[in-house]
Amino acid sequence: MLIDGEWVAAGDGGTFTSINPATGEKWAVIPEATAEDVDCAVRAAHRAFLMGPWGKMSATQRGHCLRRLADLLAAQSEALGEIETRDTGKLFAETRWQAKYISEFYHFFAGAADKIHGETLPIDKPDMFVFTNREPLGVIAAVVPWNSQLFLAAVKIGPALAAGNTIVMKASEHAPAALLEFGKLIAQAGIPDGVVNIVTGHGDPCGKVLTSHPMVARVSFTGGPGSARHVIQNTTENFAELSLELGGKSPFIVFEDADIESAVNGSVAGIFGASGQSCVAGSRLLVHEDIADEFLKRMVKIAQAVTIGDPMAGETEMGPLCTYGQLENIEREVARAVEEGAQVLSGGKRANAGS
């Protein structure tokens, strides 16, 4: 874990194992943060905010750090993409591209660092002077899910640092390796110790202690509604600011005058990307009744032609699910749907690689 600029093991030596979902092999051993570890990370971020060189840097200097981080990320996109693929099962073509694309986010926030401003409302009192002064909040706690850790880290770390805050990131216990590897770039970018901290572990105690810590000024959470309920409760005692980005069930809507071929291709890409494990996946399909039969016929044909296999291989179009628990959950959902009268048009059972 990255705490106060140092790579540290868990205080009690605890670890958990990361599994490559494509092979089922254990490939990484990750520290299991204790409550004390998380407390150390938050206190390090708090010290860095109040007493470290970060608070003395100008907005332009912070922007330079973010710009260097962006360049380092782009240069390491291949390695970071490979690690994320091994950890999540997402296609290497996707993770490599995404890692390189994410660097643009840091360039954007680097440019925004010295352009943060507010609006001052005029007042009709001639003997009064009114102005607006924007100040950083302090320590930001950020919690991200496994399915796009580098991307989601970028949209949390980037604006937090641009505004002069410090941050403690909690990586998902399901696939934390890529975010830890990214952490190696922090010092190289010239970002001072303690400004960015990364802890790994499960929701309790790691996430619980982080989101309820009295030194945390704001919590930014991306994940499911179940975990969000706990996060909301954790933040109330200290009145920490809170932003939630929760899972979605995005509808893919097709009208009767649509280009059916384009719509079918779009719907398949929307749900098969990342094996459907995305909050922006087109997980609901609403098709006008006049074209429904033809649409489904074409969709089944394309779905049956999708190549499933090794996510590192260029010809693979869909890799494995991230965890065995997700596989079992999908099997239960399919069985329940059939019991309720649904008709399986394709699949409905575990697929074999290469099919």
Token pair of 36 as six digits: 């004390």
pLDDT of the residue at 321: 92
Q: 97 and 227, same structural domain? A: yes
DSSP characters over 45-93: HHHHHHTSGGGGS-HHHHHHHHHHHHHHHHHTHHHHHHHHHHHH---HH
pLDDT of the residue at 28: 94
Q: Is residue 242 part of a domain?
A: yes
Question: Residue for token digits 């790691």?
Answer: 206
pTM for the full predicted model: 0.92
Q: Is residue 304 part of a domain?
A: yes
**Count: domains in the chain:** 2
User: Considering only CA atoms, which of 76, 116, 123, 70 is closest in space to residue 96?
Assistant: 76
Q: 309 and 230, same structural domain? A: no
Q: Is residue 355 part of a domain?
A: no
* CATH number, position 260: 3.40.309.10
For residue 256, pLDDT over 60 is answered with: yes
Q: How far apart are CA 181 and CA 178, in angstroms?
A: 5
Catalytic residue among 279, 294, 322, 331: 279
Catalytic residue among 82, 181, 245, 317: 245
Residue 285: strand pairing partners: 252
Q: Taking the CB of residue 201, how many other CB atoms lie within 10 A of it?
A: 28
Average pLDDT of the residues of the chain:
94
| Catalytic site includes residue 82 | no
Q: How far apart are CA 99 and CA 182, in angstroms?
A: 10
The answer to whether the Cα torsion of 330, 334, 337, 342 is positive or negative is positive
Q: Which residues span the domain enclosing 50?
A: 2-246
Q: 258 and 183, same structural domain? A: no
Q: What is the mean pLDDT of residues 7-20?
A: 97
Q: How far apart are CA 223 and CA 124, in angstroms?
A: 46
Q: 282 and 190, same structural domain? A: no
* CATH number, position 67: 3.40.605.10
* DSSP conformation class of 354: T
Q: 58 and 41, same structural domain? A: yes
Boundary of a domain, candidates 198, 224, 246: 246
Q: Is residue 266 part of a domain?
A: yes
Which of 177-181, 203-207, 269-273, 335-339 comes out lowest in average pLDDT? 269-273
Boundary of a domain, candidates 193, 228, 246: 246
Residues in CB range of 246: below 8 A, 6 or more apart? 222, 223, 224, 225, 228, 279
The string over 35-49, giving b where at least 16 C-beta atoms fall within 10 Å of a residue's C-beta and e elsewhere, is bebbbbbbbbbbbbb
pLDDT digits (tens, 9 = 90+) for 34-93: 999 999 999 999 999 999 999 999 999 999 999 999 999 999 999 999 999 999 999 999
User: Considering only CA atoms, which of 216, 224, 223, 222 is closest in space to residue 241?
Assistant: 216
C-alpha of 286 from chain center: 28
Residue 197: strand pairing partners: 168
User: pLDDT band for position 324 (50/70/90)?
Assistant: confident
User: pLDDT band for position 353 (50/70/90)?
Assistant: low
Q: 258 and 109, same structural domain? A: no
Q: State which H helix or E strand residue 311 sits in.
A: none
Token pair of 290 as six digits: 């006049």
Q: Give me the phi and psi of 220, to 5 degrees please.
A: -115, 115
Q: 211 and 181, same structural domain? A: yes
For residue 313, pLDDT over 90 is answered with: yes
pLDDT digits (tens, 9 = 90+) for 99-126: 999 999 999 999 999 998 878 888 888 8
Q: What single letter denotes the amino acid at residue 42?
A: V
Q: 227 and 308, same structural domain? A: no
Q: Is residue 353 part of a domain?
A: no
Q: Is residue 350 part of a domain?
A: no
Q: Is residue 11 part of a domain?
A: yes
Token pair of 206 as six digits: 């790691």
Q: 288 and 222, same structural domain? A: no
Contact 27, 83 (CB under 8 A): no
Q: Is residue 91 part of a domain?
A: yes
Percent of the chain whose pLDDT exceeds 90: 85
pLDDT digits (tens, 9 = 90+) for 183-221: 999 999 999 999 999 999 999 999 999 999 999 999 999
pLDDT digits (tens, 9 = 90+) for 138-166: 999 999 999 989 999 999 999 999 999 99
For the chain, the straight-line distance linking the first and the last C-alpha, in angstroms and rounded, comes to: 39
- Crossing angle, helix 77-88 and helix 177-188, to 10 degrees? 160
| Catalytic site includes residue 245 | yes
Q: 296 and 217, same structural domain? A: no
pLDDT digits (tens, 9 = 90+) for 223-236: 999 999 999 999 99
Q: 156 and 95, same structural domain? A: yes
Cα pseudo-dihedral 146, 251, 332, 275, rounded to 10: -40
Contact 216, 187 (CB under 8 A): no
Q: Taking the CB of residue 192, how many other CB atoms lie within 10 A of it?
A: 19
Q: 235 and 314, same structural domain? A: no
Boundary of a domain, candidates 246, 271, 290: 246
